[in-house]
C-alpha cells in the first residue's frame, strides 16, 4: 500500500442526480488515477451531495483533474484539502470469529480502541470502529489472529477544521452557484 503522504484528499459538492458519480469517476479513470476511497452523502444544502475522494498522485496531476472536474456541469465546487488542517475519519465494520475462549480477549481489544461490539452471534462478533485510517488498520491487525471473516470500510471522509469550511464570513449564508452557472453550456457560443 502506498504511503499516506502520497494520498490526496479531494472534496466535491455536486448535484444529487443520477450519473454524476459516473461522470466524475470517469474523469479520474481517463487520467489513469485509481480512486483509493470514495464516500458520498447528502450535504447541508438540499439537492447537493458531498463526495470525498482519496487518490494517489502528484500534485500537478491532481490539479489538472480537479480543473477538468470543475468543468462538469453538475460539479458546484471542488477542493484539494490535502494540505489543509482537517478532521478526517473512517468507519469500519469488522466481523471476527469468536467463541467462549476468545470473546473476552476480543472485547478487551475493542475497549482499548474505544470501538463497539454491535452484533453478537454464537461464532462471531461484529465490531464498529471509527477513527483515522491508522486506528482502523491497527485494530484490524490485532483482530487478524482471531480470524477476520469480513471487513467493510467507508473510506475517508474529511472536512477542514474550524471556520475554514464552506461557510464564509456571511454568517453561514453562502450562496452556492447553481450547477453550470458561469460555465459554457453545451451548444453555447461561449
Q: What is the CATH number of the domain that holds 147?
A: 3.30.70.1150
Predicted structure pTM score: 0.75
At 144 the three-state DSSP class reads helix
Domain boundary among 65, 83, 101: 83
pLDDT of residue 181: 54
The span from the CA of 136 to the CA of 183, in Å, is 41
Tell me: pLDDT of 27 over 50. Answer: yes
* Conformational region of residue 19, where left means phi above 0, alpha means psi within -120 to 50, and beta covers everything else: left
pLDDT 10s digits, 132-159 = 999 999 999 999 999 999 999 999 999 9
Does 172 map to a domain? Answer: no
What is the maximum alpha-carbon separation in the chain?
A: 73
Q: Which of the pair, 132 or 177, is modelled with greater confidence?
A: 132
Does 102 map to a domain? Answer: yes
CA distances from 15 to 3, 10, 46, 159, 184 (A): 32, 16, 9, 19, 17
Strand order from edge to edge, sheet including 7-15: 35-42, 48-56, 7-15, 75-80
| 72 and 118 co-located in one domain | no
Does 75 map to a domain? Answer: yes
Range of the structural domain that residue 44 is part of: 4-83
Instruction: Give the percent of the chain with pLDDT over 90.
Output: 56
pLDDT 10s digits, 28-50 = 888 888 888 999 999 999 999 99
Amino acid at each position: 500500500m502506498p504511503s499516506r503522504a502520497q494520498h490526496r484528499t479531494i472534496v466535491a459538492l455536486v448535484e444529487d442526480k443520477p450519473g454524476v458519480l459516473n461522470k466524475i469517476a470517469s474523469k479520474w479513470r481517463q487520467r489513469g488515477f485509481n480512486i483509493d476511497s470514495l464516500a458520498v452523502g447528502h450535504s447541508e444544502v438540499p439537492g447537493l451531495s458531498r463526495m470525498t475522494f482519496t487518490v494517489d498522485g502528484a500534485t500537478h496531476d491532481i490539479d489538472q483533474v480537479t480543473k477538468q472536474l470543475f468543468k462538469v456541469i453538475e460539479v458546484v465546487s471542488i477542493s484539494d484539502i490535502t494540505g489543509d488542517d482537517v478532521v478526517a475519519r473512517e468507519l469500519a465494520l469488522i466481523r471476527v470469529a469468536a467463541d467462549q475462549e476468545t470473546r473476552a480477549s476480543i472485547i478487551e481489544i475493542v475497549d482499548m480502541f474505544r470501538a463497539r461490539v454491535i452484533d453478537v452471534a454464537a461464532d462471531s462478533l461484529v465490531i464498529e470502529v471509527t477513527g483515522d485510517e491508522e486506528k482502523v488498520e491497527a485494530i484490524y491487525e490485532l483482530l487478524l489472529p482471531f480470524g477476520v471473516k469480513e471487513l467493510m470500510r467507508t473510506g475517508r471522509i474529511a472536512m477542514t477544521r474550524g471556520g475554514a469550511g464552506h461557510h464564509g464570513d456571511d454568517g453561514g449564508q453562502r450562496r452556492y452557484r447553481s450547477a453550470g452557472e458561469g460555465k459554457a453550456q453545451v451548444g453555447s457560443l461561449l
